[in-house]
Structure 1
Amino acid sequence: MTLNTERDAKETLRRRASTPIPSRTRDPGCESGPRALGHPALGHSASYQPGDPTVRSRAHWSSDSEDSDSSGSECLYRVVLLGDHGVGKSSLAGIFAGIVGEKDANDHLGEDTYERTLTVDGEETTLIVMDTWETEKQEEDEKWVQDYCMQVGNAYVIVYSITDRSSFESASELRIQLRRMRQAENIPIILVGNKSDLVRCREVAVEEGRACAVVFDCKFIETSASLHHNVHELFEGIVRQIRLRRDSKETNERRRSIYKRKESITKKARRFLDRLVARNNKKMALKVRSKSCHDLSVL
């Protein structure tokens, strides 16, 4: 099944329908639960393997960077969306997938896993975005399914609504759970404050989200799914965070130089002054670190 995006009517997006959660009863001789399944390393998918010819047919989402790497190599990563009901996880996933309007949404009801190739800083990377945290399931299986989601991601997006403080508190708890379950792994985690367009209903300040990201050592960004604000930046940032952890310092420096070329002179000057002041001022250093959690192109 394909879906044409508004950006380019000729491009098609290969989307994956609902991906079944592996059954605990498939092999009665195996240990039950997600720990028996394990989770593939970075660059491996639960359903795809590197070199799978079907990977080549996916649509592209360019980040207005330089031309794609001519090597033709492609990486595949799973991004899991976490968060309370109603915070906008499915809306963010839908924008990523290119779903526009009610007709598209109705045509793809029940789908919870989406796949797309992004060209970021001149290189292609394929993301499989899993919106399976609240997939319909039997009540007794809920804990197992959520444990499974916690273990299979190569990167995580923890979403809360800026209009709902309880969802922000739940996001903090989810970050703690991830730390416990994946503590030995250096996986990208991005805290997302969605619905930033609802200014009058705001219950969680930007500073609170930023402070939470600093405490829990993750990245932070505010988005508005309804306005498509910062959504592309979010998913491109996920790709950059994965690469920073996967690749060599030299390779990342080359990518960083490409990214910096697009920065304004004012932003570059601000970055330089922040570093200069932070060297001799601990409070300022903490403030700079707080600012850096917004920058998804650095660790």
Structure 2
Amino acid sequence: MVDGESATLILLDMWENKSQDNWIYDHCMQVGDAYLIVYSITDRASFEKASELRIQLRRARQTEDIPIILVGNKSDLVRCREVSISEGRACAVVFDCKFIETSAAVQHNVKELFEGIVRQVRLRRDSKEKNEKRLAYQKRRESIPKKARRFWGKIVAKKNKNMAFKLKSKSCHDLSVL
């Protein structure tokens, strides 16, 4: 149950399967509703591989707005850390995805992660439905002056750097917002 609504998650671990069955790997890249890209904070190579996987995923699903969460695991192993929190966040910002650190061993942020992925799927689904309804309504009802005002509002926002930044700025670590 997430936010009073039931949810079912099916997880496929594709990290190990790539070398064994390429068709399964390719199929999963095409059909998932959301993706968790997990790396170990104690292994820089896994972080770099996670970045490569994120690029492959965007290539495979170019036109779709699919939730992706970059997950730094093993956060309980602070003394062995090779990837900082700021590096993880920066990577998430660059790749336009969410970020969280977890520890499967001590269950730190694990519940938040799974609830967050469900919320991200629902937010995108609801946002898509709302946009489709809004666009259909606008096409039917919006007058020419209103369309012009909306158009100029976007241009003015692009010229005003502070406003444009506010429009584009996203939180990479809050899993309850888009």
Larger strand share, 1 or 2: 1
Of 156, 178, 186 in structure 1, the residue corresponding to residue 35 of structure 2 is 156
Mapped partners of 1:237, 1:200: distance in 2: 27
Residue 165 of structure 1 contacts residue 204 of structure 1 at CA under 8 Å; is this kept in 2? yes
- TM-score computed with the length of structure 1 as normaliser: 0.45
CA shift digits 1:19-47 (9 cap, x unpaired): xxxxxxxxxxxxxxxxxxxxxxxxxxxxx
Mapped partners of 1:280, 1:173: distance in 2: 31
Q: How many residues align?
A: 147
Alpha-carbon distance, 1:250 to partner:
9.8
Amino acid aligned to 2:31? V
- TM-score computed with the length of structure 2 as normaliser: 0.74
For 1:174, the equivalent position in structure 2 comes to 53
For structure 1, the 5+ residue unaligned runs are 1-118, 252-278
For 1:194, the equivalent position in structure 2 comes to 73
For 1:244, the equivalent position in structure 2 comes to 123
> 4+ runs of 1 displaced by more than 4 Å?
248-251, 279-282
Alpha-carbon distance, 1:149 to partner:
2.1
Residues 1:120 and 2:2 aligned together: yes
Alpha-carbon distance, 1:145 to partner:
2.5
The share of aligned pairs that are identical, in percent, is 75
Q: 1:243 to 1:203 in 2, by over 3 A?
A: same
Of 75, 83, 88 in structure 2, the residue corresponding to residue 204 of structure 1 is 83
For 2:44, the equivalent position in structure 1 comes to 165
Mapped partners of 2:9, 2:23: distance in 1: 24
Mapped partners of 2:97, 2:113: distance in 1: 13
Mapped partners of 2:45, 2:77: distance in 1: 16
Q: Larger RCO: Structure 1 or Structure 2 (Cα < 8 Å, ≥ 6 residues apart)?
A: 2
Q: 1:199 to 1:281 in 2, by over 3 A?
A: farther
Residues 1:297 and 2:176 aligned together: yes
CA shift digits 1:74-111 (9 cap, x unpaired): xxxxxxxxxxxxxxxxxxxxxxxxxxxxxxxxxxxxxx
Mapped partners of 2:55, 2:127: distance in 1: 29
Mapped partners of 1:281, 1:293: distance in 2: 19
Larger helix share, 1 or 2: 2
Mapped partners of 1:235, 1:221: distance in 2: 11
For structure 2, the 5+ residue unaligned runs are 131-159
Residues 1:130 and 2:9 aligned together: no
**RMSD over equivalenced CA pairs, Å:** 2.6
Q: 1:280 to 1:166 in 2, by over 3 A?
A: same
DSSP 3-state at the match of 2:70: strand
Alpha-carbon distance, 1:132 to partner:
4.4
Mapped partners of 1:206, 1:152: distance in 2: 30
Mapped partners of 1:249, 1:180: distance in 2: 21
Q: 1:204 to 1:133 in 2, by over 3 A?
A: closer
